[in-house]
Amino acid sequence: MKKELTRQQYLDLYYYMRLNRAVEDTMVKLFRQNKIVGGLYSSLGQEAISVGTSYALEKKDWLAPMIRNIGALLVKGVPPRDIFMQHMAKYDSPTKGKDGTSHFGDLDNLHIVSPISMLGDLIPVMAGVAMAGRYLGQKIVAMTWIGDGGSSTGVFHEGLNFAATQKAPFVLVLENNLWAYSTPVRRQVPLENLADRTKAYGIESYIVDGNDVVAVYSAAKEAVERARAGEGPILIEAKTFRRLGHAQHDPAEYVPKEMRAYWEARDPITLYEKLLTSEKLLDASGKKEIEQNLDTLLAREREFAENSPLPPGELAETGVYCTGDECHKIRAKWERPIAEVTPPKSSVAAVWTIPGFGSGKGSGGTNAPIHFGDTQTAVGKPASEAKSANDGKPVAKVAVKAAAKKTVKTARASASRKARR
Ligand SMILES: Cc1ncc(C[n+]2csc(CCOP(=O)(O)OP(=O)(O)O)c2C)c(N)n1
Ligand SMILES: [Mg+2]
């Protein structure tokens, strides 16, 4: 499964892991200065997972991060200042100061769906994004992450089963860091490998060392290619360890010292530096140059974030609820004829068919009082122009008229019943 990487790819993986760690280190400082307004979570020791998996995606692909996936945001192109400002609830932040953690996305440019706090809920959402991409013929892959704890939620199972039956081009990364808050994984799942859960959905899975960025990237690249080729969803279980507490407030004294020591000796960045040095891809001066670039970048980004104002009080009520077009436009657009994206032409095979389905006939052979969507009918004409086979009248109007006739009849019948009493 090991893929040959170019020199640039090796160095990119290193740069993004270092950037991931440096951004989070900066935020710890900001937190201790009381400048972070919400909770602060850490991906210390898990950087290889966020970076290695998201680096396997193409620009057009979609991702939805969870709390320990700042590395994936950076790889996708989110500038560090946005992450700082978001956590400081500044007015120039992606949510204009409405949120104090990482709940932001970018649907238009970077193709990032905002995190959802309810664990597991991003799975059906991203399965849906993957399916939407397929309907539109975009050949995209959607990716999200889940923890060992989150993999025991109902929606994890529902979502993965749904994605599997739909053969959605979707990659789910299960970060098994051995702890869900203070619960060790062994006390909540009777499995050694959480990847075994996929057997229940008939889908493929990989198990990787989550502290080996090349192994993570290679597995992710293969999974993304297979999902894109129409093989359906794939789960990657990355074995790792949560080095700090659940969030800044949690000293995690419940974690055995030997366990922590074992994993601290397997720091993904230190391990990768050793590999890059032995492969002659990085030397002391190259490392120094990267460190200086990161220092300069982060000093600039932090300064920008600190100088951004807090949101003006009078805007507290705005942007809370969707107000229609001035909030966001719904731009549903069929880029391919419906016939091409529904069985038998779509990549999801029809397992059964109903004769006449989609022709406007009900199962009894009469006109069905339904049509397909408001934009197009099954034959590609706007619904308002669709003619029923019988009398040439628009299908929807026939249904309305028939219903109106029935109401009149019922009203007459009850009036005559009343008169008889
Ligand atoms: C459905 C749901 N239940 C509980 C929580 C509260 N909660 C947030 S994070 C967390 C622990 C998650 O552990 P895990 O999935 O292993 O992720 P990790 O924190 O280790 O990255 C819990 C219980 C939640 N957000 N959503
Ligand atoms: Mg966990």
CA 149 / ligand 1 centre spacing (Å): 6
Q: Is the pLDDT of residue 408 over 50?
A: no
Is the distance from the beta carbon of residue 181 to the nearest atom of ligand 1 less than 6 Å?
yes
Return the ligand 1 atom nearest residue 117 CA: 25
Over pLDDT 70: what percentage of the chain?
78
Taking the CA of 176 as reference, the closest ligand is 2
Contact (Cβ atoms closer than 8 angstroms) between residue 268 and residue 214: no
Q: Which helix (H) or strand (E) holds 25?
A: helix 7-32
Q: Which of 38, 48, 35, 186 is nearest to 115 (CA)?
A: 38
User: What region does 34 belong to: left with phi over 0, alpha with psi -120 to 50, or beta?
Assistant: left
Taking the CA of 43 as reference, the closest ligand is 1
CA 179 / ligand 1 centre spacing (Å): 10
Return the ligand 1 atom nearest residue 181 CA: 11
Q: Is the pLDDT of residue 385 over 50?
A: no
Is the distance from the beta carbon of residue 311 to the nearest atom of ligand 1 less than 6 Å?
no
CA 220 / ligand 1 centre spacing (Å): 23
Q: Which of 287, 285, 294 is nearest to 273 (CA)?
A: 287
Contact (Cβ atoms closer than 8 angstroms) between residue 305 and residue 87: no
Contact (Cβ atoms closer than 8 angstroms) between residue 151 and residue 115: no
Across residues 319-340, what is the average pLDDT? 73
Q: Read off the pLDDT band of 73 (50, 70, 90).
A: very high
CA 222 / ligand 1 centre spacing (Å): 28
**What letter would DSSP give residue 357?**
T
Cis omega (within 30 of 0) for bond into 337? no
Taking the CA of 153 as reference, the closest ligand is 1
Phi, psi dihedrals of residue 207, rounded to the nearest 5°:
-120, 125
Return the ligand 1 atom nearest residue 121 CA: 1
3-state secondary structure of 172: strand
Is the distance from the beta carbon of residue 45 to the nearest atom of ligand 1 less than 6 Å?
no
Distant-in-sequence, close-in-space partners of 95: CB < 8 Å, separation ≥ 6: 86, 103, 104
**What letter would DSSP give residue 124?**
H
CA 152 / ligand 2 centre spacing (Å): 11
> What pLDDT score was predicted for residue 243?
97
Return the ligand 1 atom nearest residue 46 CA: 21
> What pLDDT score was predicted for residue 321?
84
Across residues 160-168, what is the average pLDDT? 96
Q: Which helix (H) or strand (E) holds 297?
A: helix 284-307
Sign of the four-CA dihedral 358, 361, 364, 365: negative
Q: Which of 190, 239, 245 is nearest to 212 (CA)?
A: 239
Distance CA 214, CA 126 (A): 25
Q: Read off the pLDDT band of 271 (50, 70, 90).
A: very high
Q: Read off the pLDDT band of 209 (50, 70, 90).
A: very high
Across residues 295-322, what is the average pLDDT? 94
Is the distance from the beta carbon of residue 118 to the nearest atom of ligand 1 less than 6 Å?
yes
> What pLDDT score was predicted for residue 85?
98
Residue with tokens 């996936």: 69
Residue type, 301: E
Contact (Cβ atoms closer than 8 angstroms) between residue 123 and residue 153: no
CA 121 / ligand 1 centre spacing (Å): 12
Phi, psi dihedrals of residue 112, rounded to the nearest 5°:
-120, 125
DSSP H helical segments within 139-267, as ranges? 154-165, 213-228, 257-264
Residue with tokens 């529904």: 342
Contact (Cβ atoms closer than 8 angstroms) between residue 335 and residue 134: no
CA 145 / ligand 1 centre spacing (Å): 12
Q: Which two tokens stand for residue 187?
A: 């006390």
> What pLDDT score was predicted for residue 218?
98
DSSP H helical segments within 38-91, as ranges? 47-54, 70-76, 80-87
CA 296 / ligand 1 centre spacing (Å): 35
Q: Is the pLDDT of residue 183 over 90?
A: yes
Q: Is the pLDDT of residue 196 over 50?
A: yes
Q: Which two tokens stand for residue 302?
A: 């932090």
Sign of the four-CA dihedral 64, 217, 56, 52: positive
Nearest CA to ligand 1 atom 19: 180
3-state secondary structure of 371: coil
Return the ligand 1 atom nearest residue 242 CA: 20
Q: Which two tokens stand for residue 216?
A: 């993570």
Residue type, 160: L
Q: Is the pLDDT of residue 86 over 50?
A: yes
CA 231 / ligand 2 centre spacing (Å): 28
DSSP H helical segments within 173-283, as ranges? 213-228, 257-264, 268-278
Is the distance from the beta carbon of residue 188 to the nearest atom of ligand 1 less than 6 Å?
no
SS3 content of the chain, % helix, strand, coil (to 5): 45, 10, 45
Across residues 41-68, what is the average pLDDT? 98
> What pLDDT score was predicted for residue 356?
57
β-pair partners for 205: 235
> What pLDDT score was predicted for residue 22?
98
CA 64 / ligand 2 centre spacing (Å): 17
Taking the CA of 68 as reference, the closest ligand is 1
Please state the pTM of the whole predicted model: 0.82
Return the ligand 1 atom nearest residue 118 CA: 26
Contact (Cβ atoms closer than 8 angstroms) between residue 278 and residue 55: no
Mutate which of 42, 43, 119, 125 for ligand 1 pocket (most atoms within 8 A of beta carbon): 119
Instruction: Of 74-83, 311-320, 327-336, 352-361, give the lowest mean pLDDT range.
Output: 352-361
Return the ligand 1 atom nearest residue 146 CA: 15
3-state secondary structure of 121: coil
Distance CA 64, CA 41 (A): 16
Q: Is the pLDDT of residue 376 over 60?
A: no
Across residues 131-148, what is the average pLDDT? 93
Q: Is the pLDDT of residue 360 over 50?
A: yes
Distance CA 94, CA 86 (A): 7
Distance CA 157, CA 313 (A): 42
Return the ligand 1 atom nearest residue 151 CA: 15
